[in-house]
């Protein structure tokens, strides 16, 4: 089982259960690029090292308790002190009041799929810069993938991630550890020991475990931990030399095509393996791109298998046309496909087949993305734009409601990674105050140069967006606020 205690960590490495809690986080980051830093530090100084806030009149949405009404929420000493609605007006001495009329307050957003690139690829992103991007995007917890250098495949490396996040993170960071040594797909990694060290899930993301024999043994080992295995679904022999979706655009551009089947065949195989295990582990198919994959997952779930699926903003909004003119910003793994796939993915979210949203935040430098299409690395950044892009594709389109969108970005990924046991993913009196305040109507245009992450590789530059996180609280500490919040604050110190 994942760690359960939610008390702040006192020393590093002292117990296993503290490892996952350590994800919090001072705000004195090493990236000194932030106005929000000053604000957060001031807030911490003023009250018991953490801010005391009354968030007044927000539409409070907590999918777990089915709460959806206008309330006042008081945050102090790192926790939610009260949630009051109707005529009971909240009061707290010395609190900073936030006039949140017209805003949504929800559990802090959780991203189960990010690449923070540390250790080994710090020219693309670091834990400091990646978690800053997360805070700006409204995320309070992120789960980082093990395709670093070295790969996160030992208990020591799991603890290294916690230690680095504790020093320089702006949100909680939970490591997902490799299923096989070096992510080579050959030899099982120390799954039990890494679980004890605080790994919240297992994955060889970036690569698929191609051998069915190895996969089956990894499933059995992961099952003993109660964690989920997250599969990067790519049958490697079907994608040799592939640079983008196999279709009319790849044919016109003369680029190697990546068939849908490469994804579907792995999910099909894995579901078959799970059916034959006496006690299968929980299985999570990452970044779905193909309509056929949705059908396989729908059937597996109908049969009661512990299978979940995830979708990213780019697979919900862009097709292979985005790769036209050899646009490397749209080169991603798995590739952007066709309108029919988008329709199937949205339907999968709407009917409850796909229950988890993730960004697959994959930073790459401008130099790397300037290479010829075939040579450029795959991936795009997502933390700072996920919320408005998901709102556009899923809520504005009428597929799901705001409360369901919030569930898919909070309690569902929390359950996937066992973070609900830490009190994350929901809002409850007395529970850790990880909260996101959203302006669902804010209209803005994405300027990649204005993003805070180290890499700016997004195909959405110049897009008109609606909705943004205006304040992010981690354990009661304001880790980010957008300038539009300043006119809503009572406290002159903060304006």
Smallest separation (angstroms) from Zn ion to the CB of 411? 23
Smallest separation (angstroms) from Zn ion to the CB of 207? 8
Which residue, 361 or 481, is less far from Zn ion as judged by CB?
Answer: 361
CA dihedral 128, 129, 135, 141 (to 10 degrees): -60
Number of residues in contact with Zn ion under rule CB under 5 A: 2
Show contacts with Zn ion in window 180-209 (CB under 5 A): 205
Show contacts with Zn ion in window 223-252 (CB under 5 A): 232
Which residue, 79 or 232, is less far from Zn ion as judged by CB?
Answer: 232
Which residue, 205 or 384, is less far from Zn ion as judged by CB?
Answer: 205
Smallest separation (angstroms) from Zn ion to the CB of 206? 6
Cβ-count burial 193-227 (b if 16+ within 10 Å, e if not): ebbbbbbbbbbbbbbbbbeeebbbbbbbbbbebeb
Which residue, 115 or 369, is less far from Zn ion as judged by CB?
Answer: 115
Smallest separation (angstroms) from Zn ion to the CB of 262? 12
Per annotation, catalytic residue among 29, 207, 360, 439: 360
Smallest separation (angstroms) from Zn ion to the CB of 286? 5
**Whose CB is nearest to Zn ion?**
232
Which residue, 154 or 203, is less far from Zn ion as judged by CB?
Answer: 203
Which residue, 40 or 332, is less far from Zn ion as judged by CB?
Answer: 332
Is 163 labeled as catalytic in the residue annotation? no
Smallest separation (angstroms) from Zn ion to the CB of 137? 19
Catalytic positions: 360
Contact positions vs Zn ion (CB under 5 A): 205, 232
């Amino acid at each position: 089982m994942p760690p359960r205690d939610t008390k702040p960590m006192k020393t590093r490495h002292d117990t296993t259960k503290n490892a996952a809690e350590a994800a919090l986080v001072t705000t004195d980051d090493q990236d000194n690029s932030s106005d929000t830093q000053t604000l957060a530090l001031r807030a911490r100084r003023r009250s018991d090292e953490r801010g005391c806030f009354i968030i007044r009149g927000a539409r409070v949405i907590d999918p777990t308790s089915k709460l959806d009404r206008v309330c006042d929420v008081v945050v102090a000493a790192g926790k939610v002190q009260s949630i009051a609605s109707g005529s009971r007006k909240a009061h707290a001495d010395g609190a900073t009041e936030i006039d949140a009329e017209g805003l949504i307050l929800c559990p802090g957003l959780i991203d189960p799929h990010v690449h923070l690139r540390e250790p080994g690829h710090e020219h693309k992103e670091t834990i400091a810069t990646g978690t800053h991007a997360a805070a700006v995007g409204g995320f309070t917890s992120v789960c980082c993938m093990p395709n670093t250098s070295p790969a996160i495949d030992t208990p020591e490396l799991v603890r290294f991630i916690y230690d680095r996040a504790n020093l320089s993170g702006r949100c909680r960071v939970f490591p997902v550890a490799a299923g096989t040594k070096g992510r080579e797909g050959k030899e099982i990694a120390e799954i039990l020991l890494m679980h004890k060290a605080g790994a919240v899930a297992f994955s060889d993301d970036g690569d698929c475990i191609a051998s069915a024999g190895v996969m089956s043994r990894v499933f059995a080992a992961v099952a003993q931990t109660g964690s989920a295995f997250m599969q990067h679904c790519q049958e490697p022999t079907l994608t040799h030399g592939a640079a983008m979706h196999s279709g009319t655009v790849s044919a016109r551009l003369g680029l190697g095509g990546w068939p849908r089947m490469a994804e579907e065949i792995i999910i099909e195989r894995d579901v078959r393996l799970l059916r034959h295990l006496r006690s299968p582990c929980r299985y999570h198919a990452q970044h779905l791109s193909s309509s056929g994959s949705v059908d396989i997952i729908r059937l597996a779930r109908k049969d009661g298998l512990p299978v979940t699926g995830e979708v990213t903003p780019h697979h919900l909004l862009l097709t292979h046309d985005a790769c036209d003119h050899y646009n490397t910003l749209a080169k991603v793994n798995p590739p952007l496909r066709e309108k029919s796939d988008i329709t199937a993915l949205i339907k999968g979210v709407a009917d409850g087949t796909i229950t988890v949203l993730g960004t697959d935040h994959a930073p790459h430098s401008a130099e790397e993305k300037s290479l010829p299409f075939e040579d450029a690395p795959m991936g795009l950044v997502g933390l700072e734009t996920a919320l408005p892009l998901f709102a556009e594709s899923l809520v504005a389109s009428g597929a799901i409601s705001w409360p369901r969108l919030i569930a898919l970005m909070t309690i569902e990924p929390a359950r996937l990674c066992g973070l609900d046991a830490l009190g994350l993913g929901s809002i409850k009196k007395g529970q850790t105050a990880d909260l996101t305040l959203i302006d669902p109507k804010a209209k803005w245009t994405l300027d990649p140069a204005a993003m805070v992450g180290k890499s700016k590789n997004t195909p959405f530059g110049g897009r008109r967006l609606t909705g943004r996180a205006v304040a992010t609280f981690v354990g009661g500490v304001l880790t980010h606020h957008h300038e539009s919040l300043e006119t809503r604050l009572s406290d002159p110190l903060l304006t």
